[in-house]
Structure 1
């Protein structure tokens, strides 16, 4: 006897609708980032660096989906660096990738012992760990013949790096969506550059990725990056659009309105120099009045001091 057909409830249908909408948004954002920065080209072999965290799992999943509908052909190989951290479940990723049918390579290098020996207890290990990991991944990319190295950094990572450099490094610098290694041999791409971390967290729950925690980094609670993450999350909750505007600002730079003489020739500036916007830029919102027209000098006399508010 056949069992009766069951239909999803309205609540279940709503959840499925939201899940599908999230997947479409992630695919769109990754596709836009790839297109905007020409990250992947026809014939590329993309080495997807898989850490076992939500970000790299999602990156692999979305790249596989985009490859199915892409107008170009590119290959994907997943690579994991087993750094011999205590308790690392080395069977998880091979089992997952085998079931997925994705070519993969597991590189085993005991960088954990190096980091823990060199760095004092309680100090941040991220810098040394990153340098060691980067060198190994570059070598593996050469051995596998990969033309692109895909890292799982997302929009929040880029903003956090921007703030870290601003507050602690004295630089206007972040994570570029695409870069060439110092030895001019490797092209590194960040396909998740437009994706928010909170979307990746939800996507990982939906997909039930077998997440592997990083004991080496996760044990450090007082990282400056965590402070930046907390600040961005608070801004996102309290001030609608602030974080989005910050991210947009990184792709809308006006060198003539900053202070870097290497980017703009201030010393050679004359009345005949072509300058983007000039002083008109300061009349635009949110710096000026509600009008989009620049103020004439005489108009300044009509603005009473008590009407000017500093927020």
Structure 2
């Protein structure tokens, strides 16, 4: 039986130093990407009250952590409050987030609302729960934000989420739309921001591991295997394996839209393109009916 000898101490120290340098580089990259997204889209202004939605997953932990770092040296003054929605899922470790946030010294609030029972009662067994669950969660968070005067609601969606949503809408809803880095809610009362819009999911996973965040898994929708989003995610993973950098290229393309190169007459005035002054236009009904255009009457030449 062979004996495994311990590595010499200098080798361990060198590995630790390399790991620390890589962690520092990653943290710096995330701060740069989040700061750039905030600047590019005007996400945070002086005097903002930012409600950071904290789910207990790697994405929202990373978002909160990086925003707290940026807040210390930001060119504007803004407040941060971490808010979690306790949906009363069975087995949810209620103490984890409060303990973590108290140790961090962050202002926080836990909203308690039993959306779990509603979703499991309304959605038939075997059907995906994400749509209803997200609507209920969004409603609870928006209501609390309005009641407490928050000017921005920060969500932890990252670059890969934005690309995946684009393909979900393309493949399953026949529309070119996605998940914007900043949006106004449908009722016009809330501004939602996504500070991680430029950040790769792989970097978030590495950062969360390095920081040892107390991750809380979602046992409601995360355990459902036949989700359309998972199908798109697997497709994106395969693309990235076969052609590294493809997802980054697609993400950049979402910020470089050319309306004249697409087919939406609401975004580009195709009717006026190349139109000759005075030339009559036939509408779709006339084209489909196949009725010939009436010729000018003899002797009625306008140039005479």
SS in 2 for 1:9: helix
Q: Residue 270 of structure 1: CA displacement? A: 1.4
The aligned residue for residue 297 of structure 1 is: none
Matched, 1:139 2:143: yes
Q: Does 1:100 align with 2:101?
A: no
Count the aligned residue pairs: 268
1:85 equivalent among 86, 89, 93: 89
Distance 1:272 1:53, change over 3 A: farther
Matches within 5 A, 1:178-217: 178-217=182-221
Counterpart in the other structure of 2:171: 167
* RMSD between aligned residues: 1.4
CA 271–13 in structure 1, closer or farther in 2 if over 3 Å, else same: farther
TM-score, scaled relative to structure 2: 0.86
Greater radius of gyration (CA): 2
CA distance in 2, matches of 1:146, 1:46: 6
1:56 match = 60
Check conservation: 2:160, 2:247, Cα contact below 8 A. no
Which consecutive residues of structure 1, in runs of 5 or more, have no partner in the other structure? 1-5, 274-311
Shift of 1:104: 0.5
- Who is 1:42 aligned against? 46
Please, which of 155, 159, 176 is the counterpart of residue 155 of structure 1?
159
TM-aligned CA deviation for residue 272 of structure 1: 8.3
Task: Look up the SS of the partner of 2:144 in the other structure.
Answer: helix
TM-score (norm 1): 0.84
Residue matched to 1:245: 249
State the 1:216 CA deviation. Answer: 0.4
CA distance in 2, matches of 1:19, 1:227: 31
Select 1:231's aligned residue among 232, 235, 260.
235
How big is each residue's C-alpha offset from its partner over 1:53-101, in whole Å with a ceiling of 9 and x where there is no partner?
A: 0000000000000000111110000000000001000111111101100
What is the Cα deviation at residue 9 of structure 1? 1.6
1:157-183 C-alpha deviation (Å, 9 max, x unpaired): 111100000111001111000001111
Deviation at 1:244, TM superposition (A): 1.4
SS of 1:220's partner is coil
Per mean C-alpha deviation after superposition, the further-off stretch among 232-241 and 66-75 is: 232-241
* Structure 1 partner of 2:29: 25
Tell me what 1:285 maps to: none
Cα distance in 1 for partners of 2:216, 2:276 equals 60
CA distance in 2, matches of 1:207, 1:268: 57
Question: Hey, which bits of structure 1, 4+ residues long, moved more than 6 A?
Answer: none
Match of 1:276 in 2: none
Q: Does 1:121 align with 2:129?
A: no
Offset of 1:246 from its aligned partner?
0.8
